[in-house]
Structures are given as C-alpha cells and as structure tokens.
Amino acid sequence: MKVNHLVREEDLPQLSEGLRKDFEDFCNSIFVEDPYNCLGLDNHTLKGDLRGYRALEIDENGVSYRLVYRIYEKPAPKRVFILSFAEHDLAYEKAKDRK
C-alpha cells in the first residue's frame, strides 16, 4: 500500500518529537498493514464536510490530536492519503482546507 500526505513541513515542527516519530510509524507501518482498523488504535469515520475520510485519534499528555486521512481502493494500487495531523480542532480545519 502506498501512503501519500499533505502534511506540510510547517505542521510537523508543531508536534512533539514523539508525535513526529508516531507519524513515521503510521506512514510506514500502520496504514500499510491495516488502514481501516489501525492495528486496534482508536479511529473513526468522519461526516459532513469530511465525509469519506477517517480520523486516527491520538492523545498525548492530555491533549487530543487527530490524523485525518482517506483510503482509496480504486484505481489500483490501494493507497492512503493523509490530509492533516494536528490538535483536534486544528486537524479538522486543515483537512477541510486541503481536501
């Protein structure tokens, strides 16, 4: 599975070192192996303006983050496209702007 993203260079420095490492793990492992269930990590489908997208729920030190992505089955090859990774509300705002 191929993983592409629109997470900008200015986005990642806003995240902790641990979340930046997690981002690499999501791109290189979790989304490649199990994009729908994220190997058991909390995730959900989105509605409204982001219908068809999913959000991976990440909590760090009491702060809620969301990684917003979409899975494309067709045309082949199957792929994951990541729109944003930020604190909860900001992640959704960025995703809406980037879709």
The CATH number for 87's domain is 3.30.2310.20
pTM for the predicted model, two decimal places:
0.92
pLDDT in tens, 20-73: 999 999 999 999 999 999 999 999 999 999 999 999 999 999 999 999 999 999
**Domain count for the chain:** 1
Q: What is the pLDDT of residue 15?
A: 94
Q: What is the dihedral of CA 3, 5, 7, 13, to 10 degrees?
A: 30
pLDDT attached to residue 33: 92
User: Do residues 44 and 54 touch, judged by C-beta distance below 8 A?
Assistant: yes
Structure confidence by residue, pLDDT tens digits, 3-19: 888 788 778 888 999 99
Phi, psi at residue 84, to the nearest 5°?
-160, 160
Q: What is the pLDDT of residue 71?
A: 95
| Structural domain of 54 | 2-98
